[in-house]
Amino acid sequence: GENVEQHPSTLSVQEGDSAVIKCTYSDSASNYFPWYKQELGKRPQLIIDIRSNVGEKKDQRIAVTLNKTAKHFSLHITETQPEDSAVYFCAAGLTGFQKLVFGTGTRLLVSP
Amino acid sequence: DADVTQTPRNRITKTGKRIMLECSQTKGHDRMYWYRQDPGLGLRLIYYSFDVKDINKGEISDGYSVSRQAQAKFSLSLESAIPNQTALYFCATSAQKGKRDNEQFFGPGTRLTVL
């Protein structure tokens, strides 16, 4: 079955810096890669996703890149702000099938 | 607003007790999921259901059972709770078709402590 590894487990940056979180997956059939953000005490929420027919996707300060050959994908946050502090989860799955395997999460701390 | 709700939000129980966690949704989604979250382990899938008559085991189903009573309700049971089932449990839903058909919408979570 699918296995998703996520690094780093914690990441501390200064406000305004960029942050990068990386994930690798094992099943070459996976074609859908979402990222969820979980603020302290809150439920996870989708922030961006990418499908395997696209190499990069951007939404304001966040972007996701996908390298199908290497089976890894990354979340990039630019100009970080304190409200970006949260746990971020990557996941992998199949479009239409909707069963996701999640990574172990990255706790991002943005200091003012 | 359409939402996913979970009851109870917090529960403390003793080893060996049977406990049920309930999930309801008003999103009209047909697909529902149960996950548990443990520090350092992320979100792990326990069971999922793609419609009322379809129940599937996830990666960590041992010690758990589920019931899909209706399209809008999906319950998780621990027949005989043990301490290592102490965790934060999330229910989630997704739509089979539509503009956001891959997005999973999570409930607020149930924090379960087994003593």
Residues of chain B that touch chain A, judged by Cβ-Cβ distance less than 8 Å: 31, 35, 40-45, 48, 58-59, 90, 94, 96, 101-104, 106-109
CB neighbour list of residue B22: distance below 8 Å, 6 or more residues apart: B6, B7, B73, B75
Inter-chain contact A102–B109, Cβ cutoff 8 Å?
A: no
Residue A12 dihedral angles phi and psi, to the nearest 5°: -115, 130
pLDDT for the residue B95? 85
**Is the model's pLDDT at B111 over the cut of 90?**
yes
The count of residues in chain A is 112
User: Which residues of chain B lie closer than 8 angstroms to A102, CB-CB?
Assistant: 35, 42-44
Nearest to A46 among B96, B103, B107 (CB): B103
pLDDT for the residue B99? 54
pLDDT digits (tens, 9 = 90+) for A21-50: 999 999 999 999 999 999 999 999 999 999
Inter-chain contact A89–B43, Cβ cutoff 8 Å?
A: yes
Q: A32 in contact with B at a CB cutoff of 8 Å?
A: yes
Ranges of residues in chain A whose predicted pLDDT is under 70: none
What is the DSSP track for B62-80?
A: TTEEEEEEETTEEEEEESS
Nearest to B108 among A43, A96, A105 (CB): A43
The mean predicted confidence, pLDDT, of chain B is: 93
Nearest to B93, CA basis, from B4, B2, B21: B4
**What's the Rg (C-alpha) of chain A?**
13
pLDDT for the residue B101? 64
The residue type of A67 is N
